[in-house]
Structure 1
Amino acid sequence: MHRRTLAGSGLAAAGLVLAGIQFIHAIQQTDIPVAIAVDATPFVAMGLALSYAGYWLARDDTFEETAARVVVWGAGATVAFAAVAALVLFSQQVTTGSLDRAAYLTVDILTVGALTGVLVGLYDARSRHRLRALETERDRVAAFGRKAADVNNYGRAIATAGSDDAIAAYITEAISSLTGIDETAVLRVRDDEAELLSNTVRTAGAERVGKLARAVRDEPRGDVVAHGDAPPVDLGETVRDVLTAVVTERDGTTTVVVAADTGPASTDEQDRKLLELVVAHATVRLDELTAQPAQ
């Protein structure tokens, strides 16, 4: 059972018990309906509010990691208010020599303390959750900034590459750096042939990689396509996702990138957009090299 479910159920039960005790105390002290309503309503409402807070805690997965803190806050405030009740009763005993309504006063103060502590705990838990979310977003933005800088560096390197093989090597390195995928092949496909310009794929042989490249050669140029675990050609059971991209297409010859992801984390849309920038740099440079006259 989830921690938040246990904590929320406990708080809800405690709230119902306190609400019931408050109602019983009200009818024990008087039989006048108006007096019962005035005495019982605020404290019964507090007990029911505590139950609702427990229900909310159990239902909201935001509190899964901080449910214990809410309970600690509630318990701590209850103990603190119990100490206040003890001081009040001691003062009453000293000044009047009587402890009339001691039980009623104690339960009233405990009800207020429990509700106060739980509400403060919920606020503290949500504040910590928001702080973690902000820290996660900060880290994500920082990581994206580093990757964008890498894309710029790879773009400059590709722009000065002197051969197709060098460009293929930069693409392979860029994919590994940006996504953590270390099994990448860059192929030149024509008719039924596939020439490997760069290949670090270990989960499948060159023949299957070439077959996949031929199967995706009609994809829109420049788009990085994620095929998941069901690509047109199977590259092995350990492959969780396959990324492909058509870099250039000229005179019946197509340059294709195939990346086999075998890691635990999959690429997201932002990673694919960054890879498309790398592919765009490669497209421009390959077209330039193709257009250059033979030396």
Structure 2
Amino acid sequence: MEYRSVIGGGLVVCGVLLGTLQALQYVRFPETAAVVLLNTVPFIFVAAAIVYTGVTIAIREEYDEYATLIVSWAVGGAVGFVAVFTLLTGTSTQDGLTLLLGAVDAGSAGMLAGLLVGLYDTQNRQTLATVEQFAQKLETLNNYGKVLNQSTGIESVSALCIEVVEFVLDGSGATFVIAENDEAYIVDTTLPDIDTGDLERAKRELHETEALNTVIDGAGFDKIRNEQPGETIAIRIPAGDATAVLVAVYYDIDDVDETNIDLFEILAAHVSTALSTVDTQRLQTEFMESI
């Protein structure tokens, strides 16, 4: 956070200085409207773009890890453009001030080009990191799915569900509920002070939605997390003659990551299969005992 603020602030200062220099250059060397339009105005926009990029980096947390990378591209671009400008004007007969101002213009353009490349590089790295994280979570979830299908009771299925929500899907807590014959009971929960009335209200909300589809912050969901800031998601899972409800709570965030919601629904599908297997085993056991 500290580096990001310093880097963003530094870019803002650079942009302001470059814009001020362009204004002073216009005052010191007044030109025709056409020259101003083609020479001064574009670099004013370049300076404004650098300021905007600096502010964006300073205020957006996703650049925490990549702020140094972006500014490295910017510095490299500025140095490269100035070096090329120096090579091209090395034998020029123009006065030193004119060459200096030209080098500043070249450096401004190079810095903006470097920032654009740095932002593009950052976007690619973030996308790759997201894909790799999703693949890793999906692999872990599928391994849990295999264990779920070997479960011999609802309690073990419930415990594994809550473990996945908290350790794989980054949840703050979870509750696993079984509803059967108009009655619902909590199998497992890691949420404090769960009120059965709030769960019943959430269950009714889920009853109106399609099974295995995530509902985000439905009616009464805020009560489940004791009205603390955050978001609550829940899903209805068919379980033979009964219905399971899995509730996950995320504190202090505005939106649950879309990737985690997709994985939440995949988890629900695994749970549905596991509960069907448990129900089948129960029926087989009852049948064998009746013989």
TM superposition score category, shorter chain reference: 0.7 to 0.9
Q: Distance between the aligned counterparts of 1:233 and 1:44, measured in 2?
A: 56
Once the two structures are superposed, residues 257-278 of structure 1 have per-residue CA deviations (whole angstroms, 9 ceiling, x without a partner) of 1122224474222211111111
SS at match of 1:216: helix
- How many residue pairs were aligned? 264
2:223 to 223, 234, 237: 234
Structure 1 residue aligned with 2:263? 274
1:136 positional shift: 1.6
Structure 1 unaligned blocks of 5 or more: 25-36, 93-103
The residue type paired with residue 22 of structure 1 is: F
- Which of the residues 237, 253, 256 maps onto 1:247? 237
- Which of the numbers 22, 45, 49 marks the counterpart of 2:42? 49
Between the aligned partners of 1:63 and 1:214, the Cα distance in structure 2 is 44
Cα deviation for residue 146 of structure 1 reads 0.8
Change (3 A) 1:44 1:247: closer
Q: Deviation per CA, 1:56-102, whole angstroms, max 9, x where unpaired?
A: 333455665668986998699889989x99x989xx9xxxxxxxxxx
> Which residue is 1:166 aligned to?
156
Task: Quote the residue 2:15 is aligned against.
Answer: 8
CA distance in 2, matches of 1:224, 1:80: 56
Q: Is the 8 A contact 2:81 2:107 kept in 1?
A: yes
Alignment TM-score, normalising by the size of structure 1? 0.73
Query: For residues 235-292 of structure 1, what are the alpha-carbon distances to aligned partners after superposition, in whole Å with 9 as ceiling and x for unaligned?
Result: 21225111111111544x3211112222447422221111111111111121232233
Q: Equivalent residue for 1:108?
A: 98
1:189 aligns with 2:196: no
* Percent identity over paired residues: 15
- TM-score, with length taken from structure 2: 0.74
Match of 1:117 among 86, 102, 107: 107
Give the conservation status (yes or no) of the 8 Å contact 2:49–2:112: no
Distance 1:41 1:233 in 2: 61
Aligned 8 A contact 1:78 1:110 in 2: no
1:150 and 2:140 equivalent?
yes
State the structure with more CA Rg: 1
What is the rounded CA distance, in whole Å, between the counterparts of 1:188 and 1:245 in structure 2?
A: 12
Q: SS at 1:244's partner residue?
A: strand
DSSP 3-state at the match of 2:95:
helix
The answer to whether the Cα contact below 8 Å between 2:78 and 2:114 also exists between their aligned partners in 1 is: no
The alignment yields a C-alpha RMSD, in angstroms, of 3.8
Kept in 2, the 8 Å contact 1:70–1:118? The answer is no
Residues 158-167 or 55-64, more deviating: 55-64
Cα 1:233–1:62 change in 2 (3 A) is: closer
Distance 1:80-1:171 versus aligned 2 partners, 3 A rule: closer
Deviation, 1:6, is 4.5
Q: Which amino acid in 1 is paired with 2:21?
A: A
